[in-house]
Every structure is written in C-alpha cells, then in structure tokens.
C-alpha cells in the first residue's frame, strides 16, 4: 500500500515541495492536485459511487474524497476494481479511519492520501507494516468442479422456492451452481429428464430457497431474490464446461424444503432445495440424482471457490458461512 502526501493546499509559490514538509521524504507520491494517471472523485452520495464505478478499468488510479467518511462505498469500489487494472486511493484526514481503509474487505485500498500531519503519518506507517506482514503469496485459484460427500439430510422447513426459467433449453448433464455457501455451490440439474408424473421443463432449473446464491456470468454470484429477466447465469456441464444463458422468467412459489449438507476439499457447504422428485443433483458418476432419493455418503459435484465475496464479486480473503 502506497502513502501519498497531500500538499495541494500548502504551496502555491513554486517552491520545492519536499522542503515544505519533512514528511514528504516518506511519501510514495506528492499530490499537488492533479495527475494524468489519476481520476479524482468526490463521493457525497450514490452518484459519486456510480461515477467512480464508471472509471474502473479506464484509468490507472481513482482517488476518492469523502465529504462524510463512508466505508460501504469504499468496500464496493475495492471489490469492483479487483483485477481490473485500476487502483483505489482515498484521502484520509482523521486517524480513526486509517485502519478501516487499510483493511477494508481484508484487501484494503492501494494508497492513502494523507494530510501533512505527523501523528497521522506515524499511524499510517504502522498500519502499512502490519498489512505487509499479513500478505502471503497465493497461487491463482481457479473455480472448478470437485467432489463433495453428503453428510446430512433433514427438513428445511417451508418457504419461498425459486425456479429460473431460461430463454433457451438446457441439455442433458447441464445445470447451475447454487447453494447457501458461496465457496461451495452445488450443481443442480436442469428439468430436462422425463417423469411419469409431470412433463419435463428443459428450460428450467428448480434453484431452491430464495436466499441461495447462484453463479452468474463473470464468476459473480447473486442471491436468487435479486435475479431479473435478461440477466445471464452460468450453465455448467458434467465436465465443467461453461456457457451462459439469459433468464426469461423467475417463478417464486411456497414449497417444503430439504436441507442437504456436504463436505469436500476440507470445506463444508449446504443447499436448501424443494422436496420434490424433479429436483436433481449431479453425482460423481455423471448421473442426475433426485434429492428425494439421495443418501448420506453419496458423492455429488460441487463448484468450489475459496475466495470471499462482496456484492457478488470474488476477492481474496477469508470468510465463513454456516
């Protein structure tokens, strides 16, 4: 994390800025009010946040100044800028906000713009050292299919069930990644298989309880409650191949549920799905297994990603969902 010194309002005479402040020697950048690689944005309300989001990926740096210190917009921007090539800097004038900016979403901002205040600088340097001590090299971990073992099956109560109806048909062996825990989503097969009691719905996935996550295009997740017609979800087959399909309709009805827990890759996950024969998980052998016939010890396909998420965006960090 870089530390910048704000000398914009100190010198207007053309003097050597480094001679004006003894703290400038510690600065990674001396800020004089503008720079060709920095877009400065004042964040007063949601319009400022939207303006900042519109610049992500277009400029090397975004410098945020908050009229009233707010953490949530800063977290949103940190998550949105992840792996975009754009870095986030924020102006800090109050020492109490240094730690929050440094460790927001565990990742923190890429730079602090600090006032010419010795106490603030001492605190900022301590936090920077602490942050560097916490950083450990980590290989890129691509999300992929793996195997999990069913450990528990019990009643999940009664509530709102969501069906995702697409504008195209799914094939045999295709489904969506869904579940209560974002780091281990379970593959639910599309309603492509025939049944003697009801006709198939090859465009549909009976996705489960309304609180569940679903994997979207771009490795993002959304809650089922947030989905809208026209959005694109990720379709995954038994070999882990992915494609994307647009939502045509969301259908919500009240139904009884099963709660299914599973364990894989030293991580635990769970999913709450409608208690119905037509809801099927995908087995290790590539078969579609009805949730009403599944047993403890059965192995199913899951979509693992150990990263934490903020507004659906995957970022490095630790999270625990129970």
User: Of 134, 163, 194, which marks where a domain is finished?
Assistant: 134
Tens-place pLDDT, residues 225-251:
999 999 999 999 998 899 999 999 999
99 and 62 within one domain: yes
164 and 124 within one domain: no
What is the structure's pLDDT at 290? 95
Phi/psi class of residue 157: alpha, beta or left (left: φ > 0; alpha: ψ in -120 to 50)?
left
Confidence grade of residue 82 (pLDDT, cut at 50, 70, 90): confident
Tell me the whole-structure pTM to 2 decimals.
0.69
Inside any domain, residue 297: yes
81 and 31 within one domain: yes
Confidence grade of residue 134 (pLDDT, cut at 50, 70, 90): low
User: Of 104, 134, 164, which marks where a domain is finished?
Assistant: 134
85 and 184 within one domain: no
150 and 71 within one domain: no
Residue 108: closest CA among 142, 84, 85, 74: 74
Alpha-carbon span 226 to 223, nearest angstrom: 5
**Dihedral over Cα of 275, 303, 164, 237: its sign:** negative
Inside any domain, residue 322: no
Inside any domain, residue 198: yes
Q: Rg of the Cα trace of the chain?
A: 24
269 and 172 within one domain: yes
239 and 172 within one domain: yes
CATH number at residue 249: 2.170.16
184 and 153 within one domain: yes
> For the chain, what is the mean pLDDT?
87
231 and 197 within one domain: yes
Q: In terms of pLDDT, which residue wins out, 125 or 260? A: 260
* 60-69, 72-81, 132-141, 246-255: which is most confident: 246-255
290 and 188 within one domain: yes
What share of the chain in percent tops pLDDT 70?
89
Average pLDDT over residues 284-294: 91
**Count of the separate structural domains present in the chain:** 2
Inside any domain, residue 213: yes
What is the structure's pLDDT at 244? 93
- Which of 5-19, 63-77, 79-93 is predicted with the least confidence, judged by mean pLDDT? 5-19
Q: Given a cut of 50, is residue 100 above it in pLDDT? A: yes
Domain that holds residue 121: 2-134
Q: Are 165 and 248 a contacting pair, CB within 8 Å?
A: yes
Q: Are 270 and 259 a contacting pair, CB within 8 Å?
A: yes
User: Under DSSP, is residue 78 helix (H, G, I), strand (E, B) or coil?
Assistant: helix
242 and 100 within one domain: no
263 and 283 within one domain: yes
What is the structure's pLDDT at 20? 57
What is the structure's pLDDT at 267? 87
Inside any domain, residue 320: no
Q: Given a cut of 70, is residue 47 above it in pLDDT? A: yes
CATH number at residue 10: 3.40.50
């Amino acid at each position: 994390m870089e530390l910048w010194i704000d000398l914009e309002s100190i010198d207007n005479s053309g003097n050597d800025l480094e001679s004006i402040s003894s703290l400038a020697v510690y600065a990674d950048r001396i800020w004089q009010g503008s720079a060709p690689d920095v877009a400065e944005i004042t964040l007063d309300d949601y319009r400022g946040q939207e303006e900042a989001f519109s610049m992500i990926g277009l400029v090397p740096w975004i410098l945020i100044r908050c009229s009233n210190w707010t953490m949530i917009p800063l977290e949103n921007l940190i998550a949105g800028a992840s792996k975009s090539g754009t870095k986030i800097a924020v102006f800090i004038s109050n020492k109490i906000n240094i730690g929050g900016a440094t460790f927001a979403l565990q990742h923190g901002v890429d730079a602090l713009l600090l006032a010419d205040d010795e106490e603030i600088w001492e605190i900022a340097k301590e936090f920077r050292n602490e942050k560097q001590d916490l950083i450990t090299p980590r290989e890129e971990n691509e999300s992929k299919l793996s195997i999990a073992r069913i450990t528990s099956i019990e009643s999940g109560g009664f509530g709102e069930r969501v069906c995702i109806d697409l504008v195209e048909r799914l094939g045999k062996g295709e489904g969506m990644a869904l579940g209560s825990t974002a780091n281990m989503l379970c593959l639910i097969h599309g309603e492509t298989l025939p049944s003697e009691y009801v006709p198939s719905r090859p465009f549909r996935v009976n996705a489960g309880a309304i609180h569940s996550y679903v994997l979207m295009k771009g490795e993002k997740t959304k809650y089922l409650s947030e989905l809208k017609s026209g959005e694109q979800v990720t379709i995954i087959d038994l070999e882990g191949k992915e494609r994307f399909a647009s939502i045509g309709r969301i259908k919500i009805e009240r139904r009884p549920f099963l709660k299914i827990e599973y364990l894989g890759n030293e991580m635990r996950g769970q999913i709450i799905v409608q208690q119905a024969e037509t809801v099927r998980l995908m087995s290790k052998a590539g078969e579609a297994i009805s949730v009403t016939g599944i047993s403890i010890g059965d192995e199913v396909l899951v979509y693992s990603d150990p990263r934490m998420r903020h507004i659906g965006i995957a970022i490095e960090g630790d999270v625990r969902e129970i």
